[in-house]
């Protein structure tokens, strides 16, 4: 009998990008400390202590096609790894920066990415070797240009100008109304085709799309006030969340919900499951006043606890607190990934008794990942 497997496909939000960190320390990176207990790349053994991101990302830290340190960033606590399933193997093919074309099989126009075959082709090989029981897919953010939107709004905050959202709202709505859902739907259908060609019936495994957790809270929940001071503002210097109120409210009220709604529609149209993550980090977003940053009193042995921490990576770029890689910014950190893994565990367990599982992932105020749970959507 073949061993069983659960597999994740897609982009950085499920690959494990930012899993190196647990919480956000507002200091510049050092080579000889654990960054107030936030840097999981800090490791000690006989002979001393040092930093090695490969302790978290393994051989996916570097991009083999360029030799640069911006690879797939599959962390040891990525959602599929943190979840608990009754399977023999949890396999992560998702890759930071991937778009739908990098998930599609080669036969359907899929393209290689960062030295690897398209993810659906990798899935085909796995489906032959093992019995796949779950396919969890996170995709569309890069097709939509999510990182460009974030960078644009950061630039607006740090330089004269306001209302970054007005430059993007029409473009996002246009993409969400046509091009992006078509690409996501085609990706889902091609993954189904691959599995059918390998002898699987649709009911033999759980297949689900998931949305994205909001990286920032509503403006009313910020720890730091909006400001025209740019680089000198607390939102930038301390919080690492340099967004104007109007832009963050647009992201929370419009961008994140509309992406979620699009993905839910695709899931319903293609007959697969759906896990809504947009509310998962409420109270734990970057700069949320319900959460806190660590202090000098924290360390690797005594980190800020998950129940109190920010679960998203803050802006790891600039002159104030450059840490790790810029690509890690505004992705779930290790606490966030463990929280999502807890939801995925429960989602899969419930999906066994549901023809088309549709759930949302929620947290419990005052608790860490152990307080995560799913509820029927809508």
Domains: count for the chain? 1
SS3 292: coil
Q: Which residue has the tokens 């499951």?
A: 273
Which long-range contacts link 360-364 to residues 24+ away (Cβ below 8 Å)? 360/275, 360/276, 360/277, 360/278, 360/279, 361/275, 361/276, 361/277, 361/279, 361/280, 362/279, 362/280, 362/282, 363/280, 363/281, 363/282, 363/283, 363/284, 363/339
Q: Encode pLDDT of 251-269 as tens digits.
A: 999 999 999 999 999 999 9
Whether 30 has a pLDDT exceeding 90, the answer reads no
Mean pLDDT is lowest, of 164-168, 203-207, 216-220, 352-356, for 352-356
Distance CA 250, CA 284 (A): 19
Distance CA 310, CA 217 (A): 11
Distance CA 277, CA 137 (A): 13
Name the average pLDDT for the chain: 95
What was the pLDDT predicted at 293? 97
Q: Encode pLDDT of 112-127 as tens digits.
A: 999 999 999 999 999 9
Mean pLDDT is lowest, of 23-37, 94-108, 176-190, for 23-37
* Count of CA atoms in the C-beta half-sphere (13 A) of 136: 32
Q: Which residue has the tokens 């897919």?
A: 137
Q: Which residue has the tokens 């943190």?
A: 82
What was the pLDDT predicted at 322? 83
179-197 helix and 256-270 helix, angle to the nearest 10 degrees: 40
Range of the domain at 102: 4-376
What was the pLDDT predicted at 4? 98
Cα radius of gyration rounded to whole Å, the chain: 20
What was the pLDDT predicted at 216? 93
Percent of the chain clearing pLDDT 90 (strictly above): 88
SS3 138: strand
| Alpha helices by DSSP H, 95-164 | 119-129, 141-144, 146-158
Percent of the chain clearing pLDDT 70 (strictly above): 99
176: confidence class by pLDDT, cuts 50, 70, 90: very high
Kindly report the CATH number assigned to the domain that includes residue 167.
Answer: 3.40.50.1110
Distance CA 171, CA 287 (A): 27
Over residues 2-30, the mean pLDDT reads 96
CB count within 10 Å of CB 360 equals 22
Whether 230 has a pLDDT exceeding 90, the answer reads no
Over residues 16-45, the mean pLDDT reads 94
Q: What does DSSP assign to residue 50?
A: E
Q: Encode pLDDT of 273-325 as tens digits.
A: 999 999 999 999 999 999 999 999 999 999 999 999 999 999 987 767 789 99
Sorted by sequence, the CB contacts under 8 Å of residue 139 that are 6+ apart come out as: 9, 10, 11, 98, 99, 100, 103, 184, 187, 209
Over residues 179-183, the mean pLDDT reads 97
What was the pLDDT predicted at 46? 83
What was the pLDDT predicted at 34? 95
Contact 14, 138 (CB under 8 A): yes
Over residues 43-51, the mean pLDDT reads 88
Whether 31 has a pLDDT exceeding 80, the answer reads yes
What was the pLDDT predicted at 117? 97
Distance CA 284, CA 198 (A): 41
């Amino acid at each position: 009998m073949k061993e069983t497997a659960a597999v994740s496909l897609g982009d950085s939000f499920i690959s494990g990008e930012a899993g190196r960190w647990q919480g956000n320390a507002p200091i510049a990176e050092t080579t000889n400390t654990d960054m107030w207990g936030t840097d999981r790349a800090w490791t000690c053994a006989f002979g001393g202590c040092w930093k090695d991101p490969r302790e978290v990302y393994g051989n996916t830290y570097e991009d083999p096609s360029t030799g640069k340190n911006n690879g797939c960033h599959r962390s040891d606590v990525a959602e599929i790894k943190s979840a608990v399933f009754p399977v023999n193997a949890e396999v992560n093919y998702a890759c930071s920066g991937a778009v739908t074309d990098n998930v599609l099989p080669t036969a359907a126009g899929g393209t290689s990415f960062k030295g690897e075959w398209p993810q659906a082709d990798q899935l085909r090989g796995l489906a032959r070797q093992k019995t796949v029981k779950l396919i969890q897919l996170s995709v569309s953010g890069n097709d939509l240009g999510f990182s460009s939107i974030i960078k644009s709004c950061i630039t607006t905050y740090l330089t004269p100008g306001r209302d970054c959202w007005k430059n993007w709202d029409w473009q996002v709505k246009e993409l969400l109304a046509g091009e992006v859902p078509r690409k996501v739907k085609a990706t889902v259908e091609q993954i189904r085709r691959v599995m059918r060609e390998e002898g699987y019936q649709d009911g033999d495994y759980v297949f689900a799309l998931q949305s994205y957790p909001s990286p920032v809270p509503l403006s009313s929940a910020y720890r730091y006030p909006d400001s025209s001071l740019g680089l000198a503002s607390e939102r930038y210097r301390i919080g690492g969340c340099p967004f104007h109120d109007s832009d963050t409210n647009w992201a929370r009220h419009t961008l994140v919900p509309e992406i979620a709604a699009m993905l839910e529609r695709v899931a319903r149209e293609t007959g697969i499951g759906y896990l809504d993550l947009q509310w998962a980090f409420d109270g734990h977003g970057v700069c949320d006043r319900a959460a806190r940053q660590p202090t000098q009193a924290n360390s690797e042995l005594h980190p800020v606890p998950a129940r109190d921490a920010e679960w998203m990576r803050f802006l790891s770029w600039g002159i104030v607190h450059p840490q790790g890689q810029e690509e890690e910014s505004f992705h779930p950190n290790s606490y966030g990934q463990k929280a999502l893994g807890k939801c995925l565990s429960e989602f899969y367990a419930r999906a066994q008794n549901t023809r088309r599982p549709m759930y949302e992932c929620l947290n419990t105020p005052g608790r860490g990942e152990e307080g995560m749970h799913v509820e029927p959507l809508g």
